[in-house]
Amino acid sequence: MNKQVLLNQKIAETKKGGGDKRIEQQHKKGKLTARERIDILLDPNSFEEIGQFVTHRSTDFGMEKELYLGDGVVTGYGTIHGRIVYIFSQDFTVFGGSLSETHAEKICKIMDMAMSNGAPLIGLNDSGGARIQEGVVSLGGYADIFYRNTRASGVIPQLSAIMGPCAGGAVYSPAITDFILMVEQSSYMFVTGPNVVKTVTHEEVSSESLGGAETHATKSGVTHFSCINEVDCINHIKKLLTYIPQNCEDQAPNYPYELGNETREKLNKLIPEQANMPYDMREVIHEICDTESFLEVHKNYAENILVGFARIAGRSIGIVANQPSSLAGVLDINSSKKGARFVRFCDAFNIPLLVLVDVPGFLPGTDQEWNGIITNGAKLLYAFCEATVPKITVITRKAYGGAYDVMNSKHIGADFNFAFPNAEIAVMGSKGAVEIIFKKEIEASENPVQKLEEKVAEYAEKFANPYGAAARGFIDEIIDPASTRIKLIKAFTMLQNKVCNMPRKKHGNIPL
């Protein structure tokens, strides 16, 4: 056969994956194929495939008769918004996207290329886990990937989209990466599926309930984004990449921005005077940041803290903010873990941090203590202490107790600490404080109610304001809320060349 004809024939074969019938089944489930996903994700005509003629080497169970070019994963590189990315996209039509020895080798090859060339790695996962027919070589293949994920962590951004059922080994590689995105109703993540669960624990549970997008977006926090369909998922990946640099030596892209009137009068009205009245911190974020620039991460998990990316005068920032409209913005186990992981990502990839504080403290109770609020709260504390990127804090209202220290206080390395005029920086709220320190005096008084009120007013006068902290330099400036945006634009510009060297060490030991 003519060599060119043979090549064309082989290339056509690679496009067919596991064959037309299986492609049709994939479409019937509302899923795209591995190649269709790549087409939507990458800039037109930018994809260059690597390893399309690879086949598996298995000869057990008659496998030598079932060979598919590419062996269930499409790998290569291309561009998104003109920036290079490396990509693997698992093909469920070939042995359920399961991972063979050679499938793993293909993924490892492009992971190595992404590392040596300093560009993000994107995995589109749709895999039934280890290729059962191959046994230990498949397990070894997974471990080769986990090892590379870990080596690459903090060096290049790693994004994992879950676009089908992902079981066993197929979930642990995503778990090591920086961000997981799941598709609602068609993607699942579990270490063992419903059948195994039933056998071992006698629990009856559906795939959706055990490991669907909603479960992982709300209950476990495993996924950072829950997307309504595959296209939405791919669009999220593209958007996410606009906020982050190519690697840890690089800076995030700056978008052109011309300064205009940056005063935001609405900020004077958004925050209730009373310390216990809820409000939505998202509204504050929307006023402070560039229009429509807030990309919230972990939106429906631990809602008492908000984290996400935004831009301020075109510059990418990471935001961590207490959310007074959920559990009064208290810090608990899940919100501490969520905040800490986000802070560490931003720090690893040179993204400055903005921290908005309105926090009543840590959540008390046996549930929290027995599940380790001490260790978990310390994660957030550690993450802020360790971060060397520009770090700015704005206290919008309360900053009580240990949570004041934790939420990027001056003492743990914040570069700039602003407070609104009604900010309260104290060990605790006035009433709680007075009931402890003046307990005997109040009880002995002829009119305990009046005495309590007097003492509360006295304590509030002394501590429920930002001036004590400002007098000591813990707050750099007390600002008119309407001027927050311009203050932040100037401060982030001033800090753009910040250098902060950490003491020499192998690595720290964050309380995991």
Three-state SS across 188-203? EEECCCHHHHHHHHCC
Q: Are 437 and 386 in contact (CB under 8 A)?
A: no
CB nearer to ligand HXC: give 55 or 133: 133
Within 443-502, the residues that bind ligand HXC by CB under 6 A are none
CB of 109 to ligand HXC, least distance (A): 20
C-alpha 346/C-alpha 179 separation (Å) is: 12
CB of 12 to ligand HXC, least distance (A): 21
Residue with tokens 């993607």, as numbered in its chain: 187
Instruction: Give the binding range for ligand HXC (CB under 6 A) out of 74-82, 124-132, 336-344, 501-509.
Output: 124-132
CB nearer to ligand HXC: give 169 or 390: 169
- Enter the DSSP assignment of 21: H
Q: Is 194 in the site for ligand HXC (CB under 6 A)?
A: no
C-alpha 390/C-alpha 319 separation (Å) is: 12
Residue 250 Cα distances to 153, 206, 277, 414, angstroms: 15, 44, 42, 22
78, 123, 141, 193: which one binds ligand HXC (CB under 6 A): 193
H-helix segments, 389-466:
401-406, 430-437, 439-444, 448-463
Q: Are 448 and 442 in contact (CB under 8 A)?
A: yes
CB nearer to ligand HXC: give 62 or 503: 62
56, 131, 216, 264: which one binds ligand HXC (CB under 6 A): 131
Structure tokens at 489: 């634009």
CB of 125 to ligand HXC, least distance (A): 11
Return the closest-CA partner of residue 100 out of 76, 122, 67, 65.
67
Instruction: Give the binding range for ligand HXC (CB under 6 A) out of 168-176, 283-291, 344-352, 448-456.
Output: 168-176
129, 318, 324, 361: which one binds ligand HXC (CB under 6 A): 129
- Decide: helix, strand or coil at residue 394: strand
Structure tokens at 376: 């978990």
Three-state SS across 221-271? CCCCEEECCHHHHHHHHHHHHCCCCCCCCCCCCCCCCCCCCCCCCCHHHHC
C-alpha 38/C-alpha 45 separation (Å) is: 11
The CB density around residue 301, as the number of other CB atoms within 10 Å, is 22
Q: Is 172 in the site for ligand HXC (CB under 6 A)?
A: yes
Instruction: Give the binding range for ligand HXC (CB under 6 A) out of 108-116, 166-174, 255-263, 457-465.
Output: 166-174
Which residues are annotated as catalytic?
168-169, 402-403
26, 58, 98, 186: which one binds ligand HXC (CB under 6 A): 98
Q: Is 107 in the site for ligand HXC (CB under 6 A)?
A: no
CB nearer to ligand HXC: give 222 or 355: 222
Q: Is 132 in the site for ligand HXC (CB under 6 A)?
A: yes
How many residues bind to ligand HXC according to rule CB under 6 A? 18
Instruction: Give the binding range for ligand HXC (CB under 6 A) out of 95-103, 387-395, 397-405, 451-459.
Output: 95-103
Instruction: Give the binding range for ligand HXC (CB under 6 A) out of 70-78, 162-170, 316-324, 388-396.
Output: 162-170
Count Cβ atoms within 10 A of the Cβ of residue 451 and give its class: 0-12 exposed, 13-18 middle, 19 or more buried. Answer: middle
Q: Is 379 in the site for ligand HXC (CB under 6 A)?
A: no
Structure tokens at 190: 């579990």
Q: Is 125 in the site for ligand HXC (CB under 6 A)?
A: no
Which residues contact ligand HXC by CB under 6 A? 22, 95-96, 98, 128-133, 139, 142, 165, 167-169, 172, 193
